[in-house]
A = this chain, B = another copy of it.
């Protein structure tokens, strides 16, 4: 595995007071979930289902698709690695910068990797996967739904892995599983952990054609999703609580943060259609800034220098409350004054 993931608050003990590094909404009310899991705590004393089939049934009902098109995984990460394993030895096109796990998973299973959409495509083998993260981590960019739909359907000879882990953190239209049940070259990955703000519990899923899902089932390990995660998933999918009370207001706050950061001279922030954003500074460097922010302000940012194509002037942040966002802006202004 790679080193240098986001949300590494565990490294800092109690020092982190404001966590801009996690891309999961921090204000969710998880008290009902807690009550439910306590009531069903006896599940820890038994093996979980080898595959979380009951949860898959509930999710299929929520999404309006056949059960045979869904596989629930131990976070989106298990989904990514299973896809890479299923297509081992294929060519993978992974436009950069994006979530590093695609590359790591593809390398583990001997893919021929191209980082560009254009240059090398003429010479790449036809057995080809395209990995698309939408909204894209770490840029916050969102591809137009109609364009994505067109590309996938017009190129049935290629396989598209569309990671929509942050689908619930944007107002831009997303390709929905129910619209794609007639599509045989798509693997759509989503994250229940992110939707329901429980990244600690690790719940993701793959939607695809029944034939592909069946092949994935043949290579998966049993019992990867633990009993409390399954119990939480069943409760959340059945009740479908709204974890982000006002997404529109939250994304407006993200835009306000972006504008305030951009107003600092020497700071450039990419356009974003979601709650996180990629920032470039022309003063200091991000390793130093990250350490300085934790030490002096209890603020944790995501050092983005380990994304391919980015350097040590790049970091990403996720919008928090207006007060916290203002604290971040002011801290970066202070840091700049020191450089």
Interface residues of chain A, those whose CB is within 8 Å of chain B, are: 1-3, 5-7, 9-10, 19, 22, 24, 26, 28, 30, 33-34, 37-38, 41-51, 54, 74-75, 77-78, 81, 85, 101, 105, 108, 197-202, 217-224, 226-229, 232
A-B contact pairs, 7 of them (CB 8 A): A6-B47, A7-B46, A9-B46, A33-B44, A78-B224, A81-B221, A228-B228
Within the complex, the shortest CB–CB distance from A219 to chain B, in Å, comes to 6
> Which of B1, B108, B223 is in CB contact (< 8 Å) with A50?
B1
Check A30 against B1 for contact (C-beta < 8 Å).
Answer: no
* Shortest distance from the beta carbon of A12 to any chain B beta carbon, whole Å: 12
> Closest CB of chain B to A241's CB: distance in Å?
14
B74 and A45 contact, CB distance less than 8 A: no
Shortest Cβ distance from A53 into B: residue: B10
Residues on B with C-beta less than 8 A from A33 are 44
Residues of B within 8 A of A74 (CB): 74, 224, 226
Residues of B within 8 A of A75 (CB): 223
Q: Is the CB of B197 within 8 A of A45?
A: yes
In-complex Cβ contact of A77 among B7, B38, B198, B222 (8 A): B222
> How far is the CB of A19 from the nearest CB of chain B, in Å?
8
Q: Smallest distance from the beta carbon of A54 to chain B beta carbons, Å?
A: 7
Are B30 and A44 touching (Cβ within 8 A)?
yes
Cross-interface CB contact of A48 among B37, B200, B220, cutoff 8 Å = B200
Report the minimum CB–CB distance from A108 to chain B (whole Å).
6
**Which residues of B have CB within 8 Å of A224?**
74, 77-78, 202, 224
Nearest-CB residue, chain B, relative to A50: B5
> By the criterion CB–CB under 8 Å, are A51 and B1 in contact?
yes
CB distance from A270 to the nearest CB of B (A): 23
Please tell me if the beta carbons of B34 and A22 are within 8 angstroms of each other in the complex.
no
Q: Which 10 A-B pairs have the closest CB atoms?
A: A200-B227, A44-B200, A7-B47, A202-B226, A47-B199, A44-B198, A34-B41, A1-B222, A43-B200, A10-B49
Please measure, in the bound complex, the distance between the C-alpha atom of A7 and the C-alpha atom of B24, giving whole angstroms.
Answer: 35
